[in-house]
Amino acid sequence: MFIRMVSMGVQAEHSEMFAKAYDDNIISALRVQPGCSFASLLQNIHDHKDCISLTIWESKKETDEYEKSGLFKKLVESLRTFYEESDEFELKLTDDLSIEYTPVQNDPSLKQFDDDDTEKEYIKNFNVTPYAVKIITLTVQHDKIQEFQDIFASKVIPKFEEQKGFIHIILLRKNSEFNIISFWDETIDLETAPGGQALSSLTRSIFNLLPSSVQWQVSHKASRSSFATTEEISASVYRCLTGEWFSK
């Protein structure tokens, strides 16, 4: 199984229309796209401009064909009117030698993950449309990857399974970076951040596997403003605006 996450900055005031356009354009197209099993639109509960299109595929082969066909680019452009306008401009010299200021487009960014990277079929076992999704991103020491995956299977998953509203959890890896995606039903309280206790337990369980800079942050409770690193642990909660499983 294969997962794609397309991150987009959108105009928050048009969230409802954006979700409808996603239904009309993206879901309707992917419903008949070979290899696509699931599509959903997620919106950050604290920053409504932050949205993710999360799709699940049978394999990387189908996603490669999807991109080569030009459909992915076409669907991205179909939502262009909802993307947040950039505050950056580029200078262009016109034919009459005058200077023209052109807004820089805010293009969505894509991340792709394969179940094979963790040697576990975490994605395949997920088949319910969620109400909320929590995404935790962290980096572990390269020589501790297998140890981290063992701890995830033996300690982290059971902790999440104890939480009210829990549906499923997926572990995705790209080199030394991991994304932990947990799915929750409508019984959870979004304001209390689903999986909070499990996240604290996770941090304690893997503390010695984290990069030294992150260990320093955690042990000293350093603020992001005083000490920032690309390896720090980040966690965001998203509401599922719309989603659908496709039966082929």
Per-residue pLDDT tens over the stretch 68-100 = 999 999 999 999 999 987 655 455 666 666 666
Percent of the chain with pLDDT over 90: 51
Q: What is the pLDDT of residue 227?
A: 44
**Distance, first Cα to last Cα, the chain:** 15
Residue in the block written with tokens 């080569």: 68
* pLDDT tens string 153-193: 998 899 889 888 999 999 999 888 899 999 999 998 887 77
Q: What is the pLDDT of residue 234?
A: 82
Q: Which one-letter amino acid corresponds to residue 214?
A: V
* pLDDT tens string 188-219: 888 777 766 666 667 777 767 766 665 555 56
Average pLDDT of the chain is 84
Contact present, 224 and 236 (Cβ < 8 Å)? no
Q: What is the pLDDT of residue 94?
A: 63
* Phi/psi-derived region of residue 38, left when phi > 0, alpha when psi is between -120 and 50, beta in every other case: beta
Domain annotation for the chain: domains and CATH numbers: 2-86+100-245 (3.30.70.100)
Q: What is the pLDDT of residue 62?
A: 94
Prediction pTM value: 0.82
Q: How far apart are CA 201 and CA 60, in angstroms?
A: 33
* Residue 23 in this model has a pLDDT that exceeds 50: yes
Q: Which one-letter amino acid corresponds to residue 150?
A: D
Phi/psi for 198 (5° steps) reads -65, -35
